[in-house]
Amino acid sequence: MLDIKVIRANPQEIAKKLRSKDPTISIQNILTLDERVRTLKAQSEELKRERNVHAKEMGARKSRGEDIGECLGVVDGIGKKITKMDRDISQLEERLRFELGCLPNLPYPEVKISLDPKENICIKKFLKKPSFSFHPKNHLELNEILGLFDFKRGAKLAGSGWPVYRGLGSQLEWALIHFMVDTHIAHGFEQWILPLVGRSEIMFGSAHLPKFEDQLYKIHDKDGYLYLISTAEVVLNGLHYDEILDVHSLPLKYFSYTPCFRREAGSAGVQERGLIRTHQFNKVEMFCITHPDASAEIFEEMVSSAEEILKALNIPFRNMLLVTGDMSFASAKTVDLEVWLPGQERYYEVSSVSNCTDFQARRSKIRYKNKGERPQFVHTLNGSGLATSRLMVALLENNQQEDGRVILPTVLHKYLNGLTELLPIS
């Protein structure tokens, strides 16, 4: 959430930056609500001062044995006005908080202003695209030979977009997850096992509500709603909801493996079939809480951690610095790591690393404090480390052989009891 004081002080500049992410944004209603709230608060304070004056006069009259009926009526009348005004202020502040909650984070100055994802900037590449002496198969065609997934039974169980892993497909998925878990532990990240649901205030704190309400699955019971998480970022951010952290405890470097759930699963076309876009997928998520002065450095560390996994798997990838219009709602700066998928003849994102500055911290009331100083908002950062579904596709399609075999990366052999390749099923 943005600081209303910053918006108030620089409305034109802030509006321009916001429209670089979403040209439909207007802050006029927010400015109007803010002005109304401040005006009513000033009027309420004036009424309270007036009430105090009359209360003192009533006390003086009472001590002199004089009639206080008139003063009592005046004080009572002012009190009723204050009660109504404070109720109006509370309602307006709630509306203002909702409106502020609908504004995205401001982009960093170094982020290119554009609404076109085609203008994302490639800042790094690793490995050349593989050259095959045969026509490469996509992962669906490979699956017909290898028997790793069962998309038809997934559709029977829950509808399209809900994959089923089987046999070696399941084992390979777990191998990828275990490898990533070990990598992040080696980098000093603390592992957490977390709920797969979050309360509405936790979803708001991570900036997934109200913006993405229609993309979330939710469970409704007599106690209200719980939302299935679309990423572990939601609950990792929520761990320190409404807390003040000791500045010396920072940075906090966390990660968690979770399934993730999203309603929007993309196009049903051939380019988006199978594991490319699904309603449920596995992901290892990095999440850091830092002092603002350290967030740029932590950002680079997180990008490097994601890169290390792809390099170890020997998969061609590129890093893309996203333009303003392609960044996430909460992000001030984002670098996507995209793997090459021969079957689709294009790059696809498997990791998105974002610096959210104090945007989530302000919504979640996560602060740090140095001795003798006032609490300040932390910076939060998140990054996929990695999402496995497209990673699985990249692994299969880039390492396929003409006879349908798939050579497995050396780093996964120990997680697969020494298995070095996938063979066509008989």
- Catalytic residues, by residue number, are 262, 277, 349, 352, 390
Residue among 236, 229, 246 nearest 191 (CA):
236
SS3 284: strand
Considering only the C-alpha atoms of the chain, give the largest distance between any 2 of them, rounded to a whole number of Å. Answer: 108
Crossing angle for the helix pair 69-101 and 28-63, nearest 10 degrees? 160
Q: How far is 27 from 175, CA to CA, in rounded Å?
A: 48
DSSP 352: E
Q: Measuring CA to CA, which residue among 308, 350, 352 is closest to residue 184?
A: 308
User: Residue 280 belongs to what H/E stretch?
Assistant: strand 280-290
How many Å apart are CA 118 and CA 3, to the nearest integer? 31
Sign of CA dihedral 181, 187, 189, 190: positive
Beta strands, E only, 97-146: 121-126
**Rounded distance, CA 398 to CA 59, Å?**
86
DSSP assignment of 290-322, as one string? E-GGGHHHHHHHHHHHHHHHHHHHT--EEEEE-
Which residue, among 421, 416, 399, has the nearest Cα to 172 in the 3D structure?
416
User: Percentages helix, strand, coil for the chain, rounded to the nearest 5?
Assistant: 45, 20, 35
Cα–Cα distances in Å, from 71 out to 79, 85, 253, 321? Answer: 12, 21, 61, 68
Q: Using CA atoms, how far apart are residues 371 and 246, in angstroms rounded to an integer?
A: 8
Q: What angle do CA 136, 142, 145 make, to 5 degrees?
A: 125
Neighbouring CB atoms inside 10 A of 90's CB total 11
